[in-house]
Amino acid sequence: MNSSPTPTNSSTVARRQIREAAIQLLHSSQSNTHQAEGTGDPWPLILAQPEGKITRTRARAVLHLQQNRPGRFKPIWEQRMVVQPLLETYYDDRAANRSYRKLLEAEQKLPDLLDILRRQLKSEKEPDRIEETLLKIRDFNKEALDQGSVLSDFLGPLESCPEPLKPLASKLPALLAAGELLRSLFAEKLPEIPEVKALLDAIDERNQLRNETEALYKLVVDNLPATDKLIAEQLENFSLERLAQVDRAVLRLATTELHHCPDIPPAVSINEAIEIARRYSGTESAGFVNGILDKLKS
């Protein structure tokens, strides 16, 4: 007998959320079976809420960790009238001066974008809008870092840097450090620092929802022939295939839990199924699901 996937942290991702996601997968698989073109990938819809939470949490981390960015950029900006001719003097190929100008251009874009991001969070804009702003911040930060790194290579260590350029060389590392920190917030492996804990937690919740939903969906599919037989036996003068797709998906999931998830009390599985049916199909469907599952329980 196949047994239930036990939630790893049910206090983080509610079992109801996992059930509803699994039902969406079941509904989508039924639709794809009966429609030539199918309904597409259901995961973007299933994960929309946790992905939105990740986007907002990342935005808050960006704003928090970049508070000192303008202060680190200011002394580099203020030196521009002096620095540009000096770079032309000390470095013949003009690449150093070009990198300095491009660094200034990229850095000048960031304060306005960070301000837009702050306003979007306060006004609760859609996650897609926030994500667009985050990607612009990421890209301009990358440009600033790339150009700043080229400039830093020209300047070299502070002790060997030309004396007139030491004021620039002494301030550049702090700006680059802020840029590296910002870049790390978009990396696959996030830095393990207190300011990023909420973002790490949000990503863990998204991953947990997907993993546990897939496990529950697989449990239903693996036992589907036997489950459908049990449900069909309770239908009077009615074919299982004639049931509304949502009702059929709810019954399949709940019946699977009743017979293959001993860690879940039957009353919980039935009550959850009733509530999900009521939410997605209405009161009549909830009563119908209740009647079938009550027979299956006994």
pLDDT in tens, 174-227: 999 999 999 999 999 999 999 999 999 999 999 999 999 999 999 999 999 999
Non-local CB neighbours of 142 within 8 Å, separated by 6+ positions: 183
H or E stretch covering 145: helix 127-155
Looking at the structure, tell me whether residues 276 and 147 fall in a common domain.
no
**Paired tokens of 139:** 């890209």
Nearest CA to 135 among 103, 150, 113, 115? Answer: 113
Task: Yes or no: say if 36 and 115 are a contact pair by the CB < 8 Å rule.
Answer: no
- 31 belongs to a structural domain: yes
Looking at the structure, tell me whether residues 60 and 166 fall in a common domain.
yes
Per-residue tens of pLDDT for the chain, all 298 residues: 455 554 444 446 799 999 999 999 999 987 755 554 556 899 999 999 999 999 999 999 999 999 999 999 999 999 999 999 999 999 977 999 999 999 999 999 999 999 999 999 999 889 999 999 999 999 999 999 999 999 999 999 999 999 999 999 999 999 999 999 999 999 999 999 999 999 999 999 999 999 999 999 999 999 999 999 999 999 987 889 889 999 999 999 999 999 999 999 999 999 999 999 999 999 999 999 999 999 998 6
Looking at the structure, tell me whether residues 159 and 243 fall in a common domain.
no
Task: Yes or no: say if 109 and 72 are a contact pair by the CB < 8 Å rule.
Answer: no
Looking at the structure, tell me whether residues 178 and 226 fall in a common domain.
no
Looking at the structure, tell me whether residues 264 and 293 fall in a common domain.
yes
Give the alpha-carbon dihedral of 122, 123, 125, 130, to 10 degrees. Answer: -30
pLDDT digits (tens, 9 = 90+) for 155-168: 999 999 999 999 99
H or E stretch covering 99: helix 95-122
- The total number of structural domains in the chain stands at 2
Looking at the structure, tell me whether residues 179 and 237 fall in a common domain.
no
The string over 191-201, giving b where at least 16 C-beta atoms fall within 10 Å of a residue's C-beta and e elsewhere, is eeeeebebbee
Task: Yes or no: say if 216 and 18 are a contact pair by the CB < 8 Å rule.
Answer: yes
- 70 belongs to a structural domain: yes
Considering 187, 219, 245, which residue would you say is the last residue of a domain?
Answer: 187
- 22 belongs to a structural domain: yes
- 196 belongs to a structural domain: no
Looking at the structure, tell me whether residues 23 and 62 fall in a common domain.
no
- 253 belongs to a structural domain: yes
Looking at the structure, tell me whether residues 148 and 211 fall in a common domain.
no
pLDDT at 273: 97
Non-local CB neighbours of 277 within 8 Å, separated by 6+ positions: 246, 247, 250, 285, 286, 288, 289
How many angstroms separate the CA atoms of 180 and 53, rounded? 24
- 102 belongs to a structural domain: yes
How many angstroms separate the CA atoms of 177 and 66, rounded? 11
Global pTM? 0.87
pLDDT at 35: 52
How many angstroms separate the CA atoms of 41 and 21, rounded? 13
Structural domain containing residue 107: 50-187
pLDDT at 3: 54
Nearest CA to 137 among 179, 101, 100, 174? Answer: 179
